[in-house]
Amino acid sequence: MPTTPISRLSSEEIESLHNTLQNLLYLNNVCRESLCLVPPVHSSLHAATQDDEIPVSYPVHLSDGTISEQKSISVSKGSFVHVPVEAFNLDKGMWGPNAWDFDPDRWDHLSEDVLSLPGLYSNLLTFSAGPRSCIGMRFSMIKMKTFLYILLMTFSFAETDKRI
């Protein structure tokens, strides 16, 4: 960690800090896991621009409580489509039985199913996907990593019995 205050770092020192952060693989895994479990945006709404058939992986649960074995869902132009980012990121069918556990090590051994998922960042929908994905993703990630790095390198953290 540089001894110079962050606000007075030269461009070479900033680049060196950035390279250091990029090479901290466990820090990257912690950030991925945090954004997987608690995405800043839990869902989004989109409007269909054309009629389409959306394939499904699981049986469809209908509003009357029955289960349909249909293989796709028809979406009409102009319909609103709810994209449940949090549900996608925490799907136990895709991520495994420990999908809801904080496990940074999961990123070292992802299944082929997970690796094939769409998503701008780490096969997650946290920053969306496609042409309307978050343009601030890289900035957010470097900011998150820098903040954690400075906190962890500057302070000591320990459990306490004191009420905070």
Which residues are annotated as part of the binding site for heme? Answer: 134
Backbone angles phi, psi at 33, to 5 degrees: -65, -40
What size, in residues, is the chain?
164
Encoded tokens for 124: 């997650």
> Could you give the CA distance from residue 52 to residue 94 in angstroms, rounded to a whole number?
24
Contact 44, 85 (CB under 8 A): yes
Q: What is the dihedral of CA 158, 23, 145, 26, to 10 degrees?
A: -50
Give the residue ranges of the annotated binding site: 134
